[in-house]
């Protein structure tokens, strides 16, 4: 276990105690000596952790302390890198750039050992069997979802029948070779799914839809038997 991981585990351990935790118990749980524990506590205090106590009395961490550089384990970093690489290779250019930018920001605040683990990550995303065509509407769709705005689309269904719909978009699903927009359709008065590659035209409305996105998402999950994440 690296020192960064040990400090992170110590923070989580202190948070699990409502009352001062004896130093020997903390050291035993972490598998370290008391001397190392005292050094680690002093290091956390120097970084802003409000840890109160002293040898023989125990230690307690006051609520509200966050330690951004130590928030990730190596496994969590691997998950972040793998997820970012999927986004970079399977989504539109705006999300791809944002994913890479997020990793740069994370790397800038990591301790050296975890930054090395990030740079040397060996999990990669393989090539897709089919190339997904990027749609210029993706940023508008995400903007509509975030702002809870209605959109009007001209849509070509799988039977090659064209229609114009006003929908309340609340979710965008990224499958390997397909993107699906979920929304409440005013024309059909129900939840509908639209393949983004079959949207011929999209217009973002300034009008907000009358229900909250969270409510629509909850009702849709129940209707589709989709478990909450």
In a shared domain, residues 94 and 155: no
* Model pLDDT, residue 191: 96
129: in domain = no
Write down which residue in 70, 85, 105 finishes a domain: 70
* Model pLDDT, residue 217: 93
Q: Alpha-carbon distance 123 to 154, whole Å?
A: 40
* Model pLDDT, residue 228: 66
* Model pLDDT, residue 172: 93
Q: Among 178, 157, 181, which Cα is nearest to 169's?
A: 181
* Model pLDDT, residue 115: 78
In a shared domain, residues 145 and 216: yes
20: in domain = yes
> Half-sphere exposure of 145 toward its Cβ, with a 13 Å CA cutoff?
17
Q: Alpha-carbon distance 85 to 41, whole Å?
A: 36
In a shared domain, residues 49 and 9: yes
Q: CATH number of the domain at 55, please.
A: 1.10.10.10
* Model pLDDT, residue 229: 59
In a shared domain, residues 109 and 181: no
* Model pLDDT, residue 209: 97
33: in domain = yes
Q: Alpha-carbon distance 133 to 135, whole Å?
A: 6
* Model pLDDT, residue 131: 56
pLDDT in tens, the chain (229 residues): 677 778 888 988 888 888 899 999 999 999 999 999 999 999 888 877 888 888 888 999 887 655 555 567 778 888 888 998 888 888 888 888 888 888 887 777 777 777 787 788 888 888 776 655 556 578 899 999 999 999 999 999 999 999 999 999 999 998 878 899 999 999 999 999 999 999 999 999 999 999 999 999 999 999 988 876 5
* Model pLDDT, residue 206: 94
* Model pLDDT, residue 203: 96
Query: 23 is in which domain, residue-wise?
Result: 3-70
Q: CATH number of the domain at 157, please.
A: 2.30.30
- Residue 128 tokens read as 């897709």
Strand 179-185: give its sheet, edge to edge.
Answer: 190-195, 179-185, 162-174, 149-156, 199-208
At which residue do the structure tokens 């509908």 appear? 192
């Amino acid at each position: 276990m690296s020192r960064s991981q040990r400090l992170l585990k110590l923070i989580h351990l202190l948070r699990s105690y409502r009352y001062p935790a004896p130093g020997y118990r903390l050291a035993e749980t972490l598998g370290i000596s008391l001397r190392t524990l005292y050094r680690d506590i002093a290091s956390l205090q120097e970084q802003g952790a409000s840890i109160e106590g002293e040898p023989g009395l125990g230690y307690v961490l006051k609520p509200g302390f966050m330690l951004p550089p130590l928030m990730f384990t190596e496994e969590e970093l691997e998950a972040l890198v793998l997820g970012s690489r999927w986004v970079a290779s399977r989504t539109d250019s705006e999300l791809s750039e944002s994913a890479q930018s997020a990793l740069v920001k994370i790397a800038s605040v990591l301790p050296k050992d975890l930054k090395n683990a990030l740079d040397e990550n060996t999990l990669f995303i393989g090539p897709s069997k089919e190339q997904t065509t990027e749609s210029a509407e993706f940023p508008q769709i995400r903007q509509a979802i975030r702002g809870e705005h209605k959109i009007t689309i001209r849509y070509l269904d799988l039977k090659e029948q064209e229609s114009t719909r006003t929908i309340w978009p609340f979710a965008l699903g990224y499958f390997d070779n397909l993107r699906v927009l979920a929304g409440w359709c005013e024309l059909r008065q129900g939840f509908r799914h639209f393949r983004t590659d079959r949207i011929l035209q999209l217009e973002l409305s300034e009008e907000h839809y009358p229900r909250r996105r969270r409510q629509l998402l909850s009702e849709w999950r129940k209707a589709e038997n989709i478990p909450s994440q």
